[in-house]
Structure 1
Amino acid sequence: MPLRAFILFVGCLALFGAAGLPALAHEGSGYGGGFIAGFTHPILGWDHVAAMVAVGLWGAVLGAPSIWILPVVFPLVMALGAVAGILGIPVPAVETGIALSAVVLGLMVVFAARPPIWIAAVIVGAFAIFHGYAHGTELPATVNAFAYAIGFVISTGLLHLIGIAFGLLVSRPGGRIAVRAAGGVISLAGVAFLTGLA
């Protein structure tokens, strides 16, 4: 229990700390400017937050080894998507893919879907491409691309940790309902993103 509380505390602290820095997100061309821009980008977009927390939740629902594999697959593939965005390689329906990621991943949590791990990894990786592509195409021209990428990968990892920490409640009395309800909220948020209501 102390480890879970610590993970949640560190994740929340990082999010609150970064949320106070949005004015710096597109400033400067050095390591700090690029890192801060990359770090704040995922946490300032609720569509990104929803999907990334859902990855951690679903991993926790699936248990080991998915609890660590899914949150590793997502940022790795997301980085590849970012490279595609930076290079200008066309990827269709990016915003739709991002919104659908929240819908689908939220539903995976709601129904406690348990596909083979490779299928879960493919689902997570497919959606990570859209998220990474959005990060890559929105890279401010004045920032260090490497520092930006490190920032958004770390931020994504923290969002996954928040999902994992909450998802660990699944083994507690009443926790399964709370985790599935969180998946439902994420899925509904995805529908709102998809329909333009959010």
Structure 2
Amino acid sequence: MSTTPSRITVFSLAMLYPALAHAHVGVGETSGFTHGFAHPISGLDHVLAMILVGVFAFQLGGRALWLVPAAFVGMMAAGGALGAAGINVPFVELGIALSVIVLGAAVAFEIKAPAAIAVALVGLFAVFHGHAHGAEMPESAGGLAYAGGFMAATALLHVAGIGIGFGIGKISQRVGPGIVRIIGGLAALAGVGILTGTL
């Protein structure tokens, strides 16, 4: 178990390295990486979902600790390619809002889903998030650098979520599971606010 968090860190750094290398090739590449990196962290819906993926993965433990975030990043890249190519994916905004609601509820109730189901669930949501990133790619941005940017930011948010999950677990050992219910519930409520346009 102690080696698994380090695998997540290595995985994240491995994804960051080529993206950072591309970011210094030229102005277009630098711009692409910067825009791509900024996109996931510029919206509450993306930030919440990606942190919740990390918390959810931590709660599941075992292989899911790295499989779930890796599945999200991989499928998000696929969704980004669809968006950049102008291929329509229906209900993108609905899917993004539902990802926050469902993942918030999963965290609140500490759902112990099998790894395969968790991977499929976050993979589906990742397509919607990725499509939004790809569809909003600036015309001046280099596509690979832009993708590297949003993948790197997403991986870092997942790592942050795993850290938050660890912290929540430690606190709940002292004060009881109520803290997990509150945090997950607030995230799910935020998802409802995003869905209804009040957030």
TM-score, shorter chain, exceeding 0.5: yes
Q: Does 2:63 match 1:62?
A: no
Runs of 4+ in 1 over 6 A off after TM superposition: none
Q: Does 2:192 match 1:194?
A: no
CA deviation map 1:158-195 (0-9, x unaligned): 11111100101354252544333222221111000001
Aligned to 1:128: 126
Q: Which one of the candidate residues 48, 51, 67 is aligned to 1:50?
A: 48
What residue identity is the alignment partner of 2:144? F
- Tell me if the contact between 1:73 and 1:125 (Cα under 8 Å) persists in the aligned partners: yes
* SS of residue paired to 1:189: helix
- Tell me if the contact between 1:61 and 1:170 (Cα under 8 Å) persists in the aligned partners: no
Aligned to 2:18: none
Alignment of 1:84-163 (within 5 A): 84-163=82-161
Aligned to 1:82: 80
- Tell me if the contact between 2:73 and 2:154 (Cα under 8 Å) persists in the aligned partners: yes
Aligned to 1:180: 181
Displacement of 1:54: 0.5
Determine the C-alpha separation between the residues in 1 that align with 2:108 and 2:95: 20
Aligned to 1:164: 162
- Tell me if the contact between 2:36 and 2:148 (Cα under 8 Å) persists in the aligned partners: yes
Determine the C-alpha separation between the residues in 2 that align with 1:63 and 1:180: 18
* SS of residue paired to 2:120: helix
Aligned to 2:29: 31
Displacement of 1:116: 1.1
Determine the C-alpha separation between the residues in 2 that align with 1:40 and 1:173: 31
- Tell me if the contact between 2:171 and 2:179 (Cα under 8 Å) persists in the aligned partners: no
With the length of structure 2 as denominator, give the TM-score of the two structures. 0.82
Displacement of 1:65: 1.4
CA deviation map 1:80-130 (0-9, x unaligned): 000111111111110010000000011010111112110010000000000
In structure 1, the gaps of 5 or more residues are 8-27
With the length of structure 1 as denominator, give the TM-score of the two structures. 0.83
- Tell me if the contact between 1:29 and 1:142 (Cα under 8 Å) persists in the aligned partners: no
What residue identity is the alignment partner of 1:179? V
Stretch of structure 1 that moved more, 178-187 or 154-163: 178-187
* SS of residue paired to 1:89: coil
